[in-house]
Amino acid sequence: MTDSRILLLVLALPFFGSLLSALLPRTARTAAGLVAGSVAVLATALLIPFYAPVARGEIVRLEIGWLPTLGLDLVFRVDGLAWLFAMMVLVIGALVVLYTRYYMAREDPVPRFFSYLLAFMGSMLGIVLSGNLVQLAFFWEMTSLFSFLLIGYWYGNRAARDGARMALIVTATGGLCLLVGVLLIGRIVGSYDLDVVLASGGTIRSSPLYLPALILVLLGAFTKSAQFPFHFWLPHAMAAPTPVSAYLHSATMVKAGIFLMIRLWPIFAGTDAWYFIVSFAGLATLLVGAWAAIFQHDLKGLLAYSTISHLGLITLLLGLSSPLAAVAAIFHTVNHATFKASLFMAAGIIDHESGTRDMRRLSGLARFMPFTATLAMVAAAAMAGVPLLNGFISKEMFLAEALDARGGPVIGFALPVLATLGAAFSVLYSLRFIHQTFFGPPPTDLPKVPHEPPGWMRRPIEILVIACLVVGIVPAATIGPVLQSAVRSVLGAQTPTYSLAIWHGFSAPLLLSMIALATGTLAYFRFRDALNRRAGPPVIARFKGGRMFERVLADIVRRARSLEGLFGTRRLQPQLRLLVCLACLAGLLPFLQLGYATGGLPVTPLDPAFAVIWIVGGICAVGAAQQAKYHRLASLVLMAGAGLVACISFVWLSAPDLALTQLLVETVTTVLLLLGLRWLPKRQPEVWPDDRPPARVVFRRSADLGIAIAAGLGAALLAYAMLTRPLPDTISRYFMEQAYPQGGGRNVVNVILVDFRAFDTLGEIAVLAIVALTIFSLLRRFRPASESIEPPVQQRMQDAADLHAGGRRVGDTKKDYLLVPRIIMEWLFPVIFVFAIYLLVRGHDLPGGGFAAGVAMSIAIMLQYMAGGTRVVESRLRIRPLRWIGAGLLLAVVTGVGALAFGYPFLTSWFRYLELPVIGKVPFGTALFFDLGVFLLVVGATALMLVAIAHQSIRTPRARTPARPDVPPVIREEGED
Amino acid sequence: MEIVLAIGIGVLTASGVWLILRPRTFQLIVGLSLMSYAVNLFIYATGRLQIDEAPVIEQGAAVPLADPLPQALALTAIVISFAMTALLLVVLLASRGLTGTDHVDGEEP
């Protein structure tokens, strides 16, 4: 049962359970609890058999190739340490699930909670089971994310939101540092595989990148494990529901940093940098945390700071760099997880059953909840390091290590003293926790009458407390082998001999331990009233990490704003100017490096007529640019002229398909823009104060002119350089050779579009359909500017003339307007229709095709609108652009899918000659159906755009303003739209 | 022919760039249209210039024809630039209706 693939299952189970739980209804607390509980229990059961190989010192690995060329494979591995941590995560997770079921109120959305909790559990397992450092960093960030969601679970509470945000920013920033550190390690070693990295400790320690990598990895670990000076987020995270605190701050989250430091201990430890950084951070955290814990009045606050202090203790042990200290660190990690989880749960029960967590209000609860009191007392005694409990053994190991620490006389003397001081603080706050809550006179002003919780709510604590006792009394027989396998997986050959006995004879550590117990007890009874009167811890109260964090954050935001104000702009013109300049520079750069030279391709002899056409084209382009501001119609005509020149160039230079499409598209674009002109404001020539524009404006225009000339010159030079170079061999040759044999078409361009690259074309027509629908929906809510609402002046004048002339009705002039061209346009409809079909059918062999045919067809429709007006056309013709679009897209896709039915890839075309009666042999291919789809869609999309804009003129606008008195009155037909 | 086409592309680009740097939405549309002419011609020109060699295969004739690939690309580009122009036009009309101005920033400077 130790198939390495089971590891994947263990890891996948929590995420699966998380999804399942998220799908449950809001009130399904028991069902969600069952899901979460069974996931935790099942995963535990699956993981237990791995103990056998792990205890033999083997590493069970599962590798899944992902991006092997980048050294990124999914690697899951379990060894002694990973097994120990994974079991801790799962077992305490299962207990927390049980506890949560009874803790959460009926109105809380409990399934959501379990969903987060399981996802967090999975991420945590991901960290400990990862065999690839990048993968580890990924799961690391996931724990940050899910802890954010868990801490902010009661998001209605401001403290919860702030605490969650602070935890996320601190730990995710640390995670980013970790990622960079991991990448550095990968650079040094040449692999991200954990086993490879662990085997190259010497390479890493002697590398010049060692120090940066170390600092970055430690930043990740310190932020996660709440080490000084990043410890401030942890107390703020106490706004979370108590089960979250019990889980995150005992066995998981904060232990991730510890896990990482233990994991990488073999490659990082032993240098001065490691020794000083890690020991100092650990010692500072130990003392600051313990000192602050003494002065808390909130039970959870006390536990939060004591957690910080114990994490500091473990970090300090790791920093001391001796193998024995590492053993003590691993051992204390497990011990701390057991007693701290039970203490958090006990604090939760007290809060739950008495209504407050304030130690100043609590008193004498032992008589109301004797069982809970006993359990909490044992757990707190373990935290204080009282003999016969697990905390005692690891604390003794710690004191022994403090006495043995190297580093000169000052440290040799100071470290044991400070360590004993920390231990004494620990005794003090543990005693305060127990004595103030459970002893003394009965409480007087509690919100609720306290009583024992439901039995099942106490059960997790009972299990944990029994574990504390058993490990404390017979350590070697219980935790011994597991600890040994974990230690060996980390230290390997360095594994020291150590004994897990409770009695080592009278020794210096025992003496220190006793001094700490006695000092702590005495200090509590001497100062307890003074403690209750104080509002915060002396000395360190002024350095509020949380406050500083907020201030730094606010400062960053303010600076970012001012930077944005300095360098950013919301105005589009400067942005575009910058973009164009950058594009010009990017185009210039290669020429500056390599020089400019034309190629050796013989030029095509110049036809003077071509030059003349382009002189006209150039004049049109410049004229369009010059006229665009004040004379839009002229500009439009000139622009169309330039387009026409482009079109003639295509004809001239062997591109008939392009010419045809360009010509037709040009027509439609012009009509579209003409329809749009109606809704743009009138523009009068600008008048400047001194008859000349101010210097600022002149400068801006000259600069733009310079940029434009530079861009044009660049484009011309680039085009010329390219045109004079020989054409390299491209894929075109293949298309030319295979167009007829494989595609069954002589027009290679069309064969490329509907056959070789039909998938691209499918994407393109989809874009066209989306654009048409966007235009349609944008115009449904269109509100014209108030000054454009009235009908144009000419129309009003015509209507007024109709009104005043005898025997005419309003609209008669309009109706008779351009009568002859109108009739011709109406008659043209069938002609253009036939022409479009002709273009479509011949497209495969001769210039034409679905695009050109579709645009031509839409021109036919458009002409009808222009001739007869919207109402007339729509009463005669069925204009259903939306259906045409749908049918076209469907036909194109179905044609493509049809190939699948015959076992060919999507959009493979089929072609053969058919023998038809009378007509004879005709080519027939599925490509024609595809082209028909393109045709239908293009007709639909173009018609939809044109009709949507055209309809605006006959709509009744939403915002209506009274007609101005100086123009003829408005006579409007009420629109149907 | 090459030099004329290259200059033509340059003039179209210059006019287009000048217009897209202007403040009024209509100028922007015209500018983008001119630029898309230039770009389409440029894409087409990557197949080099040939006269009377349309990429339509005649029976039996195996002459080197014009490169069909840039033509297919340019054809796509023409259709897409039409869609873009149409969309831009409608967005600008809607923006003018909402803000009451045809300045690209949605407000008079």
- Position A962 scores a pLDDT of 45
Q: What is the ipTM of this complex?
A: 0.95
- Position A769 scores a pLDDT of 94
Contact between A303 and A432 (Cβ < 8 Å): no
- Position A977 scores a pLDDT of 38
Query: Does the pLDDT value for residue A973 go beyond 70?
Result: no
How many domains would you assign to chain B? 1
Contact between A105 and A129 (Cβ < 8 Å): no
pTM: 0.69
Asked if B108 has any chain A CB less than 8 Å from its own CB, the reply is no
Q: Does residue B58 lie within any of the structural domains?
A: yes
Best of B4, B27, B96, B98 to disrupt the A interface (most A CBs within 10 Å) is B4
Residue A250 tokens, joined: 């005992």
Asked if B90 has any chain A CB less than 8 Å from its own CB, the reply is yes
Nearest to A654 among B50, B76, B94 (CB): B50
**Rounded average pLDDT over A498-506:** 77
Asked if B62 has any chain A CB less than 8 Å from its own CB, the reply is no
Dump pLDDT digits (tens) for A567-610: 878 888 888 999 999 999 998 998 899 888 888 888 888 889 99
Best of B28, B29, B30, B108 to disrupt the A interface (most A CBs within 10 Å) is B30
Best of A629, A650, A672, A723 to disrupt the B interface (most B CBs within 10 Å) is A723
* Window 658-677 of A, Cβ < 8 Å to B: 658, 661-662, 665, 668-669, 672-673, 676-677
- A540 confidence band (pLDDT: 50, 70, 90): low
Q: Does residue B104 lie within any of the structural domains?
A: no
Distance from C-alpha of A914 to C-alpha of A923, rounded to nearest angstrom: 6
- Position A509 scores a pLDDT of 84
- B95 confidence band (pLDDT: 50, 70, 90): confident
Nearest CA among A341, A327, A297 for reference residue A94:
A341
Per-residue buried b or exposed e for A404-414, using 16+ beta carbons within 10 Å of the residue's own CB: bbeeeeebeee
Distance from CA of B60 to the nearest CA of A (A): 12
- A976 confidence band (pLDDT: 50, 70, 90): very low
Question: Do A722 and B46 make contact, defined as CB atoms within 8 angstroms?
Answer: yes
Question: Do A732 and B74 make contact, defined as CB atoms within 8 angstroms?
Answer: no
Asked if A194 has any chain B CB less than 8 Å from its own CB, the reply is no
Contact between B48 and A727 (Cβ < 8 Å): yes
Question: Do A669 and B27 make contact, defined as CB atoms within 8 angstroms?
Answer: no
* Window 166-185 of A, Cβ < 8 Å to B: none
Nearest to B11 among A577, A622, A681 (CB): A622
* Window 711-750 of A, Cβ < 8 Å to B: 711-717, 719-720, 722-724, 727, 730-732, 735-736, 739-740, 746-749
Contact between A84 and A262 (Cβ < 8 Å): no
Nearest to A715 among B13, B76, B87 (CB): B13
Distance from CA of B46 to the nearest CA of A (A): 7
Query: Does the pLDDT value for residue A535 go beyond 80?
Result: no
Residue A492 tokens, joined: 């390997």
Asked if A694 has any chain B CB less than 8 Å from its own CB, the reply is no
Q: Does residue B107 lie within any of the structural domains?
A: no
Average the pLDDT over each of A380-394, A794-808, A856-870, B9-23 and give the range with the smallest value.
A794-808
Query: Does the pLDDT value for residue A407 go beyond 70?
Result: no
Distance from CA of B18 to the nearest CA of A (A): 5
Q: Which residue has the higher pLDDT, A265 or A784?
A: A265
- A919 confidence band (pLDDT: 50, 70, 90): low
Query: Does the pLDDT value for residue A37 go beyond 90?
Result: yes
Alpha helices by DSSP H, listed for chain B, are 2-20, 25-45, 68-99
Question: Do A731 and B69 make contact, defined as CB atoms within 8 angstroms?
Answer: yes
Residue B2 tokens, joined: 């090459």
Peptide bond into A229 cis (omega under 30): yes
Q: How far is CA A18 from the centre of its chain?
A: 19
- Position A968 scores a pLDDT of 47
- A740 confidence band (pLDDT: 50, 70, 90): confident
Closest-CA residue of B relative to A726 is: B48
Nearest CA among A761, A917, A755, A718 for reference residue A854:
A761
- Position A844 scores a pLDDT of 81
Distance from C-alpha of A1 to C-alpha of A545, rounded to nearest angstrom: 49
Say if strands A920-925 and A72-78 run parallel, antiparallel, or are unpaired. Answer: unpaired
- A719 confidence band (pLDDT: 50, 70, 90): very high
**Rounded average pLDDT over A58-74:** 84
- A810 confidence band (pLDDT: 50, 70, 90): confident
Query: Does the pLDDT value for residue A779 go beyond 50?
Result: yes
Query: Does the pLDDT value for residue A835 go beyond 50?
Result: yes
Per cent of chain A over pLDDT 70 is 95
Question: Do B56 and A748 make contact, defined as CB atoms within 8 angstroms?
Answer: yes
- A421 confidence band (pLDDT: 50, 70, 90): very high
- Position B43 scores a pLDDT of 93
List the domain range (segments joined by +) for residue B76.
2-99
- Position A923 scores a pLDDT of 66
